[in-house]
Amino acid sequence: DAGITQSPRHKVTETGTPVTLRCHQTENHRYMYWYRQDPGHGLRLIHYSYGVKDTDKGEVSDGYSVSRSKTEDFLLTLESATSSQTSVYFCAISATGDNSPLHFGNGTRLTVT
Amino acid sequence: GENVEQHPSTLSVQEGDSAVIKCTYSDSASNYFPWYKQELGKRPQLIIDIRSNVGEKKDQRIAVTLNKTAKHFSLHITETQPEDSAVYFCAASIQGAQKLVFGQGTRLTINP
């Protein structure tokens, strides 16, 4: 299995608080992605990174920001959490982007009360 | 932008029978089509993928077919077993954008 670690695995937070999820990889892959998974919606891309300090928006980026200061770490921040952001968040990595497999982390279950 | 439609959303088959899941995509420039299996509470894991220069690929009981003209691809599972029960996702690449778009998923149940 690809070396991807997500932390925390579970988190409960209150509406309006900031939350940061961390993804750490040991594969030295260039591309990293944050997806959210909700029933009936599959996996939707939030943000992705194609290198250190290089990031771009996905299809559901509103209310989220990301940072990548090192190859191995990709952080997802919910600036002011809302109940609609209750979801399971998956980080994924890829060696070459759109023409190679994604390898997923174990996910973070976030509940916003 | 690229859109991937996946059908059916749920599928129930008898153990030993075959299962087929279909996906259509909108971007004719897409050239990479992976399939992922997600067991309950686990992460999605790649089970098979196909690139646009190939029409079919097989790995034991799993096969994927691609029709570029019609812009659709399908996952075929033969001789289904209880451990095949899971949610399956298809995906298609977005040319030049270094990312994949996923279908909505199919919940496959194998009945003993």
Quick one: what percent of chain B has pLDDT higher than 90? 85
Question: Per residue in B15-33, pLDDT tens?
Answer: 999 999 999 999 988 999 9
Task: Assess whether pLDDT exceeds 60 at residue A45.
Answer: yes
B32 vs chain A: nearest CA distance in angstroms? 6
pLDDT at A97: 72
Check residue A33 and give its pLDDT: 96
Among A43, A48, A97, whose Cβ lies nearest the Cβ of B102? A43
Cα–Cα dist A2/A6, whole Å: 12
Which pLDDT band, with edges at 50, 70 and 90, does A108 fall under? very high
Average pLDDT of B53-70?
94
Q: Which pair of structure tokens corresponds to residue A94?
A: 């890829």
Nearest to B1 by CA among A49, A88, A44, A32: A44
Helix (H, G, I), strand (E, B) or coil at A81: coil
Cβ <8 Å between A42 and B93? no
pLDDT tens string B77-99: 999 999 999 999 999 998 777 88
